[in-house]
Structure 1
């Protein structure tokens, strides 16, 4: 046993295998005389996390693996967590967030440049900056529309 001074834990897992609750089991759950104690531990876990998909007694070794990021596999043993591929909606949201950040930064930079041009009375520079700002807005709208179109196409593809 590593990193713990007990042999067993009561653990609850959600439907995805993530450990959502644990408590020390300070007795040997493999002995028949402790069956009532095991049930009390499991009932306590059920009251603490009503959305648990699985509640069981686990070894300290397994407990340490769960602490280190593993999840409960379909075989009931710790397994590496492999995150799911992002959905089309998540990919679109990420692209949109990146576009929004790029747009905001460019907008602020142009705003500062326009302020300086106006303070200096440079009407040619101010007009040029206003043109760049219009181009920026056009670019932003085109890119946002493209992201929305990708999302729509992905949604229509998944409906087939």
Structure 2
């Protein structure tokens, strides 16, 4: 993203995630105007609205673009040791997050199967097909029982 801004003042959370930011005066930054830089960092800190900001720093436009737009493939966070952008690697999901994903997948599948059974039941009712109604009731009960067992297995892992 092309811009005529050379410097930004950006806040970073303790995990390196970029937060609030604003433009920085090129002349003031390049002249190392300490009063301007301190005031600008304080302004950005006040913009953070209760976020747990770890650091506020002056960054160049190339770093800014990586933090805000990524490189087309990766997203970036601040390396809190070096102060430079690094590729964001999401943490491995927790056991609980994995279980939630599995349960949601089971629920989605069951929801679709239950809808199909419901639609078939409506047709069986309209046709007064008692035998088919009983078969569909049995299928529904088996579906719910199997689903319950699958979910218990996921939770017990």
TM-score, normalization: structure 2? 0.89
- Which range is displaced more, 77-86 or 49-58? 49-58
Q: Partner residue of 1:46?
A: 45
Equivalent residue runs for 1:82-101 within 5 Å: 82-101=89-108
Given that 1:8 and 1:58 are in contact with CA atoms closer than 8 Å, whether structure 2 keeps it comes out as yes
5+ residue gaps, structure 1: 151-160
Corresponding residue for residue 137 of structure 1: 144
Q: 3-state SS of the aligned residue for 1:29?
A: helix
Structure 1 vs Structure 2 CA RMSD: 1.3
Runs of 4 or more above 6 Å deviation: none
- 1:62-82 deviations in whole A, cap 9, x for unaligned? 111112231101311011111
Deviation at residue 119 of structure 1 after TM alignment: 1.2
Deviations along 1:113-157, one digit per CA (max 9) or x if unpaired, are 11111211111111111110111011111011111101xxxxxxx
- 1:77-110 Cα offsets, whole Å, 9 max, x none, are 0111111111111110011111111111111111
Query: Residue by residue, what CA displacement relative to the aligned partner does 1:22-60 show, whole Å, maximum 9, x if unpaired?
Result: 11111342434x100000000001111142111011111
Aligned pairs, number: 148
Q: Does the 8 A contact of 1:18 with 1:72 survive in 2?
A: yes
Question: Which blocks of at least 5 consecutive residues in structure 2 are unaligned?
Answer: none
> Which sits farther off after the overlay, 84-93 or 22-31?
22-31
Q: Which residue of 1 aligns with 2:22?
A: 23
Instruction: Give the structure-1-normalised TM-score.
Output: 0.87
